[in-house]
Amino acid sequence: MKKIGLLLLVILFVTNIFGQNAIKDKNDSIAKIAKNFYNQDDYEKLYTLMGEKFKEQLDFLKFKETFSGLKQQLGNWQTSEFIKVKEKNSHYKATFEATPLSFYISLDEKEKIFTFLFKPFKDEKEKRKEKVKSNNALTSEIDKKIEQVAQNYLSNPKTVGLSIGIIKNGKMQFYHYGETKKNNAKLPDNNTLYEIGSVSKTFTALLLAQAVENKKTTLNTPINTYLPKNIPSLEYNNKKITLENLANHSAGLPRLPDNLLNNPNTISTNPYKNYTEKDLFDFLEKYKLTKEILKQYEYSNLGFGLLGTILEKINKKTYEEQIISQICKPLNMQNTKITLNEKDKNQYFAQGYDEESNAVSSWEFQSLAGAGAIRSNVEDLLNYVSAYLNPPKKMANAMNLTQKLTFEFGQNKVGLGWHIIKIKENEVWQHAGGTAGFRSVAAFCPTTKNAIVVLSNATDEVNIGFEILDFLNEK
Q: Where are the domains of the chain?
A: 2-120, 195-474
pLDDT value of residue 411: 79
Which listed CATH number (3.40.50.2300, 3.30.980.10, 3.40.50.880, 3.40.710.10) goes with 195-474? 3.40.710.10
pLDDT attached to residue 10:
36
**Whole-model pTM over 0.75:** yes
Residue 423 CB contacts under 8 Å (≥ 6 apart), including other chains:
445, 466, 469, 470, 473
Residue 66 and residue 81: Cα distance in Å, rounded? 23
Distances (CA, A) of 307 to 188, 205, 226, 316: 33, 8, 10, 14
2-120 homologous superfamily: NTF2-like; domain 1 (3.10.450.100)
In this chain, the answer to whether the domains covering 2-120 and 195-474 adopt an identical fold is: no
Spatial distance between the Cα atoms of 141 and 279, rounded to a whole number of angstroms: 52
Q: Return the exposure string of 358-377: e unless at least 16 CB atoms fall within 10 Å of the residue's CB, then b.
A: eebebbbbbbbbbbbbbbbb
**pLDDT tens digits in sequence order for the chain, 475 residues long:** 444 444 443 344 333 322 223 357 788 889 999 999 999 999 999 999 999 889 988 889 989 988 888 888 888 899 888 887 776 788 899 999 888 899 999 888 788 999 999 988 876 667 898 999 999 999 999 999 999 999 999 999 999 999 999 999 999 999 999 999 999 999 999 999 999 999 999 999 999 999 999 999 999 999 999 999 999 999 999 999 999 999 999 999 999 999 997 788 888 899 999 999 999 999 999 999 988 999 988 899 999 999 999 999 999 999 999 999 999 999 999 999 999 999 999 999 999 999 889 999 999 999 999 999 999 999 999 999 999 999 999 999 999 999 999 999 887 899 999 999 999 999 999 999 999 999 999 999 999 999 999 999 999 999 999 999 999 999 8
